[in-house]
Structure 1
Amino acid sequence: MSVDTKIRPLSGRDWDSIIALERRAYSASGLSEDEAVLRSRGTDHSSCFVLEHRGQFGGYLLALPLPLFRCPDLERCESFEGRSDNIHTHDMVIRDEFRGQGFGSLLLTYLATTAQSRGFRTASLVAVHGTEVLWPRLGYRPHSELTLPAGYGASAVYMSMELKPPSEV
């Protein structure tokens, strides 16, 4: 990671930037979440991160411990309590002007390393907008047989991968 780039835990002061970026990324497709619903995804600050580049907000990643094969409903606030050995990446968005510089991969690698050190054994996500073709190269496998909440859209695909224990990385 360059000295100009920093990943840090999400804090309360980040929400205005996160909400604005989430709206720009998803409003046109109908996948944008209500503010209260989105905030309910970021309650575990040990698995939600902000990317800063040259002192500017560059993007975010919201992840939460959820049982494997479960994902949040985009249309309602939910409580995510309890222990899980799966970390679910709910959302990741990089600002347009910072795309194509590897920041998405940097955030995902940071999450995987953090999750592995905390004892998570698997990682999951829901691929939207046809991105399911991108995730296998990072180790994710599709689970097309799963029915997802309607809010994700008909083409959304649940995907997961095993995380290697820190001793095997």
Structure 2
Amino acid sequence: MQERDIPAVLSIQQEAYSPQLQEDEAVIRARLAACPQLAWVAEDAEGVCAYLFAYHSRVGKVTPLDGEFQRHEQADCLYLHDLAVAPRAGGRGIGPALVRKKLEQAKAHRLRYSALVSVQDSEAFWSRLGYAAHTQLDQPQVSNLASYRIPAVYMVQALH
């Protein structure tokens, strides 16, 4: 992802998420600045058609909506914060392909887990990619999960 991709990312976010889940441009720019090597886009003939924000974290740590990515010295987890595909590109396997490539990279960096917050009834999608609900969270993390203000499920996958 490059700075020039931000308008397309914001447009895709608006198409993919309900208004209460949309993060503003300043937050999106901060995510790119925090982990530029882990912020990816996919392009088709019309331009950017999907994006994925991720960072290295610790399993059991939930990033709140609009929250800053918290770097951890002892990172053991690739946290997928946001995956969205433009409706025009749906059904082509772009989202799963981005996730698989990101998980390959995580394994190469010897991370033991990947985690995410599932929203908008996406739990079945993430389950097909190997994630399972993880409910053993301490109170601060439960509060972070509640920041999404809609049903949200923290999910984890062990990487081998």
Q: Same fold (TM over 0.5)?
A: yes
Higher RCO (C-alpha under 8 Å, 6+ residues apart): 2
Match of 1:89 among 70, 73, 80: 80
Asked if 1:152 corresponds to 2:125, the answer is: no
Query: 1:7: which partner in 2?
Result: none
Q: CA deviation at 1:148?
A: 4.5
Q: Encode CA deviations 1:106-152: one digit per residue, 9 max, x unaligned.
A: 10111011111122111001000121123222211101353252331
Give the partner amino acid of 2:28.
Answer: L
CA RMSD of aligned residues (A): 1.8
Q: CA deviation at 1:162?
A: 1.0
Query: 2:22: which partner in 1?
Result: 32
Q: CA deviation at 1:44?
A: 1.0
Q: CA deviation at 1:56?
A: 1.6
Percentage of matched positions with identical amino acids: 31
Q: CA deviation at 1:49?
A: 0.7
Q: CA deviation at 1:161?
A: 0.4
Structure 1 spans left out of the alignment, 5+ residues: 1-9, 165-169
Match of 1:14 among 5, 16, 40: 5
Matched residue pairs, number? 153
Partner Cα distance (1:53, 1:15) in 2: 16
Query: 2:39: which partner in 1?
Result: 48
Structure 2 spans left out of the alignment, 5+ residues: none
* Closer/same/farther in 2, CA of residues 57 and 131 from structure 1, 3 Å limit: same
